[in-house]
């Protein structure tokens, strides 16, 4: 979308991204069930035995994160494409593809990687709602059941597990910073 700034393609992609960011996870999951499982009967509404049963929950979980990451990528790329070194690369006669992927995207990746890392936490939170909508037993459903039953050791274990996963993902993001931009050094 950043390459087609203020054109129809940019406006269409921006509208889809805004829709993806705005909709609640549970509503989107229910709409996917209504359209693809009930009306069209292409995919199963619940169950986890068939490979097709994973499609709707995966789309439900991924929609918000993909829209947010795409929006962040667009705004970062718009900013980077206006910088002097990109203008210099174009003036040297580099192919537009080399300018975009070799210069602009590489320098714009740091904020995008940060958002991807933080979206992992959103996926964990969205998994609770997605498990409820699709009737899947999982850690999210176990957490809700343990909260209602006041089973605090189970709640603590699940929160600790989610926290450890989130910390590991953020550690991986920090390691990626050094790989993406060698100028970043850790003390």
Q: Is the pLDDT confidence value at 169 over 70?
A: yes
Average pLDDT score over residue span 121-137: 82
Q: Is the pLDDT confidence value at 140 over 90?
A: no
Give the pLDDT of residue 154.
Answer: 95
Grouping H, G, I as helix, E, B as strand and the rest as coil, residue 23 is coil
Give the pLDDT of residue 31.
Answer: 93
Does residue 138 fall inside a structural domain?
yes
CB 67 within 8 Å of CB 21: yes
Selection from 74, 80, 91, 84 nearest residue 13 by Cα:
74
Does residue 61 fall inside a structural domain?
yes
Selection from 138, 107, 105 nearest residue 123 by Cα:
138
Does residue 52 fall inside a structural domain?
yes
Distance of CA 30 to the CA centre of its chain: 20
Average pLDDT score over residue span 135-164: 91
Give the pLDDT of residue 48.
Answer: 67
Does residue 64 fall inside a structural domain?
yes
pLDDT tens readout for residues 74-127: 889 889 888 898 889 889 888 888 888 888 888 888 889 989 988 888 887 778
Does residue 186 fall inside a structural domain?
no
Residue 130 belongs to what domain range?
Answer: 2-180
CATH number, residue 99: 1.10.3720.10
Give the pLDDT of residue 54.
Answer: 85
Does residue 93 fall inside a structural domain?
yes
Residues in Cβ contact with 170 at an 8 Å cutoff, skipping those fewer than 6 apart: 117
Does residue 32 fall inside a structural domain?
yes
- pLDDT category at 2 given cuts 50, 70, 90 is low
The total domain count for the chain is: 1
Selection from 35, 36, 28 nearest residue 63 by Cα:
28
Selection from 115, 131, 106, 113 nearest residue 182 by Cα:
106
Does residue 185 fall inside a structural domain?
no
């Amino acid at each position: 979308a950043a390459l087609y700034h203020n054109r129809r393609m940019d406006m269409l992609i921006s509208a889809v991204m805004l829709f993806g960011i705005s909709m609640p996870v549970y509503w989107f999951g229910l709409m996917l069930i209504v359209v693809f499982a009930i009306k069209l009967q292409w995919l199963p509404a619940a169950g986890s035995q068939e490979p097709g049963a994973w499609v709707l929950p995966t789309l439900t979980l991924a929609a918000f994160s993909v829209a947010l990451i795409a929006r962040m990528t667009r705004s970062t790329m718009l900013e980077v494409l206006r910088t002097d070194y990109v203008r210099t690369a174009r003036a040297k006669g580099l192919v537009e593809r080399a300018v975009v992927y070799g210069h602009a995207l590489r320098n714009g990746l740091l904020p995008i990687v940060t958002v991807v890392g933080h979206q992992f936490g959103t996926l964990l939170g969205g998994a609770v709602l997605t498990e409820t909508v699709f009737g899947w037993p999982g850690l999210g459903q176990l957490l809700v059941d343990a909260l209602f039953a006041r089973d605090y050791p189970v709640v603590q274990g699940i929160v600790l597990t989610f926290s450890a996963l989130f910390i590991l993902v953020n550690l991986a993001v920090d390691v990626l910073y050094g790989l993406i931009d060698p100028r970043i050094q850790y003390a």
